[in-house]
Every structure is written in structure tokens, then in C-alpha cells.
Amino acid sequence: MSSTDRVPHNGHPAIHAEQLRRHYRMGETLIRAVDGVTLKVNAGEFVALLGSSGSGKSSVLNLIAGLDRPTSGSVIVQERDLAQLSREELASYRLHTVGMVFQSFNLIASMTLAENVELPMRFAEVDRRERASLAREALARVGLQARMNHRPSELSGGEQQRAALARALINRPQLLLADEPTGNLDSHTGTEIMNMVREFNQQLGMTVVMVTHERALAERYAQRLIFLADGKLVGDESNPAVAAATATDYAGADGERR
Ligand SMILES: Nc1ncnc2c1ncn2[C@@H]1O[C@H](COP(=O)(O)OP(=O)(O)O)[C@@H](O)[C@H]1O
Ligand SMILES: [Mg+2]
């Protein structure tokens, strides 16, 4: 990968959530899924969002992804206030600025891997021939060149998640949002996926927010650990071991290029 592949940064936080709330009304009950979360993530950071089941992790991630709108508060991503975006602008934001991966892979069963990976480019109106070659390249990058014309059901979980990663990254988003990306994988395969995510973070400078309930996983990969409980931010710790290793890797990569 060349240095020109890197996502440009401009010194502003990549994500700034301010007093973010998402409440759900279920009959008489009000569920405070997200309850006043203020959070900044720097460009190029790899952050883990931790908390037990039901603590609001996915809700926060979906608000950052523009898949959902807050009850109150704001989310600013790359200096764009998501609340100010029209439906069309929000769709474009989801298409170009964010890539998302989920625990359940969410590939389209009736499409081959190549077609799945091409899909975001079809929405982005990339030329057909260019789409095919970019999809091939993206699948090769995650080691799936031989599986391009297979359907998801013919692949292992790890392969499906690799294809989902290729699809998430195909429009070169600045932000990768991952919701329990290794939740359905054995630990070996999970490690393989996490190493790829780390590579994208370090080599492309992509900002990563990963939701997980596994502290050990977060400690191994994330530079910062953010803890949620009952929709509230209850902890924000840097993870010096990973942060230091990342700084060294950057220096190493630069050294190789010269
Ligand atoms: N669409 C929804 N309607 C009603 N309640 C929801 C909805 N989505 C999430 N919740 C509730 O909000 C809380 C937080 O959910 P979620 O963000 O999925 O937590 P986590 O990802 O940490 O497990 C839970 O109590 C959940 O039941
Ligand atoms: Mg969740």
C-alpha cells in the first residue's frame, strides 16, 4: 500500500458526540438506550466501545453510522452535523464516509461475493468495468480471490466476514464501525479478522470504532477503551500497550517507504 492510500486527516476529531440520547418508548415504558453520551474520537484512532449486553453499544454505533437519529444531542462526524443532513445527504454519508461490519456479516445471500462487494459501488454509480476490477482487488486483499463467484452460504463464517470487510471498505470510508465483528467466529478466525481491521487502521489511517463485550479483545487491539453502562459513559481509558505499539508501527511503515 502506498502513502497516497492513507485517509487525509485535518486535526479535527473524526467523531464528536455531544449529550447524545436515544430513548425508545415501549408502551408505558421509556427505555433510555443512550442517555447523555459525550464522546470524541480522533482521526486515525482505534477505539473499543465496551459494556454488557443492553448497555447501549449498538445504539451509539448506529447513531454514529447515521442509521438512526438521536432523540436529542448531536453527532458530528468529519465536521458534518448528522442532524443537519437531509435523507439524501445521510444516504451519501453512509455510502461514502462510513463502512460497517456486523456480527452476522449481513451479506446478501442471493449474490456472489463479487456482487456483494460491488453493491456499494453500484449505489455510488461507479462505472461497471471499474467496479468489477475494484471488487476483485478488494477481495484479493482479504485473501478471497478464489472465492469471488461463490455465494455466502458456500463460505465459512471467517470468509463471510472477510468479504463483509471488503464490502465495507470498497468506497474508501474514513470510518470503520464494527459491531461485535468476531461475535460469531472461533477465536482463531476472530484473530484473523481483527488483524485485518488493525491493518486497515494502521496502514490506511482509517478511524475504527469497534463494539464488543469482550474486554480481552479490546485490550489486544484498541488504543482506547470506552465503557458504557445503562446508556451512560462510565469509563474512558487509554490502552498504553497498543497505543505505543501503534506509534512504532507507523515509524516502521514510514521507514520502509523511504
Ligand atoms: N429499536 C428498539 N426499540 C426498543 N428498544 C430498543 C431498540 N433497540 C435497542 N433497544 C433497547 O435499548 C437498550 C440498548 O440496546 P443496544 O444498544 O442494542 O445494547 P447493546 O448493543 O449494548 O447490547 C436495550 O435495553 C435494548 O433492549
Ligand atoms: Mg449490540
Q: Which amino acid is at 84?
A: Q
Q: Which residues have a beta carbon within 5 Å of ligand 2, which is an ion?
A: 58
Tell me: do 90 and 186 sit in the same domain: yes
pLDDT on residue 257: 39
| Total-model pTM | 0.91
Tens of pLDDT, residue by residue over 9-29, are 556 799 999 999 999 999 999
Tell me: do 187 and 229 sit in the same domain: yes
pLDDT on residue 247: 65
Report the percent of the chain where pLDDT is more than 70. Answer: 91
- pLDDT greater than 60 at residue 47: yes
pLDDT on residue 1: 45
Whose CA is closest to atom 27 on ligand 1? 54
- pLDDT greater than 60 at residue 2: no
Tell me: do 24 and 126 sit in the same domain: no
Domain that holds residue 157: 108-171
Confidence of residue 5 (pLDDT cuts 50, 70, 90): low
Q: Which residues contact 9 (CB under 8 A, 6 or more apart)?
A: 43, 44, 205
Tell me: do 15 and 57 sit in the same domain: yes
Q: Which of 137, 155, 171 is the last residue of a domain?
A: 171
Backbone angles phi, psi at 87, to 5 degrees: -55, -40
For ligand 1, what atom is nearest to the CA of residue 52? 22
Tell me: do 130 and 244 sit in the same domain: no
Tell me: do 90 and 50 sit in the same domain: yes
Q: Average the pLDDT over 120-124 and give the result.
A: 92
pLDDT on residue 6: 59
- In a domain? residue 229: yes
* Alpha carbon of 53 to ligand 2 centroid (Å): 7
Whose CA is closest to atom 18 on ligand 1? 58
Cβ 59 under 6 angstroms from ligand 1: yes
Q: Which of 171, 199, 220 is the last residue of a domain?
A: 171
User: Quick one: cell of 31?
Assistant: 427505555
For ligand 1, what atom is nearest to the CA of residue 61? 17
* Alpha carbon of 27 to ligand 2 centroid (Å): 22
Q: Which residues contact 244 (CB under 8 A, 6 or more apart)?
A: none
For residue 60, the ligand closest to its alpha carbon is 1
- pLDDT greater than 50 at residue 253: no
Tens of pLDDT, residue by residue over 62-112, are 999 999 999 999 999 999 999 999 999 999 999 999 999 999 999 999 999
Tell me: do 28 and 46 sit in the same domain: yes
User: What is the C-alpha to C-alpha distance for residues 246 and 38, in angstroms, rounded to an integer?
Assistant: 25
Tell me: do 247 and 157 sit in the same domain: no
- In a domain? residue 164: yes
Q: How many domains, the chain?
A: 2
Cβ 57 under 6 angstroms from ligand 1: yes
Q: Average the pLDDT over 163-183 and give the result.
A: 95
Q: What is the mean pLDDT of the chain?
A: 91
Tell me: do 229 and 117 sit in the same domain: no
- In a domain? residue 102: no
For ligand 1, what atom is nearest to the CA of residue 228? 22
Q: Which of 171, 186, 213 is the last residue of a domain?
A: 171
Q: Which residue has the higher pLDDT, 254 or 206?
A: 206
Confidence of residue 252 (pLDDT cuts 50, 70, 90): very low
Cβ 58 under 6 angstroms from ligand 1: yes
Q: Are strands 232-238 and 224-229 parallel, antiparallel or unpaired?
A: antiparallel
- In a domain? residue 103: no
Q: Average the pLDDT over 45-72 and give the result.
A: 97
pLDDT on residue 10: 56
Tell me: do 60 and 185 sit in the same domain: yes
User: Quick one: cell of 43?
Assistant: 482521526
Mutate to test the pocket of ligand 1, among 25, 37, 55, 59 (most ligand atoms within 8 A of CB): 59
Whose CA is closest to atom 3 on ligand 1? 24
For residue 63, the ligand closest to its alpha carbon is 1
Cβ 26 under 6 angstroms from ligand 1: yes
* Alpha carbon of 59 to ligand 1 centroid (Å): 6
pLDDT on residue 12: 75
Q: Are 47 and 235 in contact (CB under 8 A)?
A: no
Tell me: do 80 and 118 sit in the same domain: no
Tell me: do 154 and 83 sit in the same domain: no
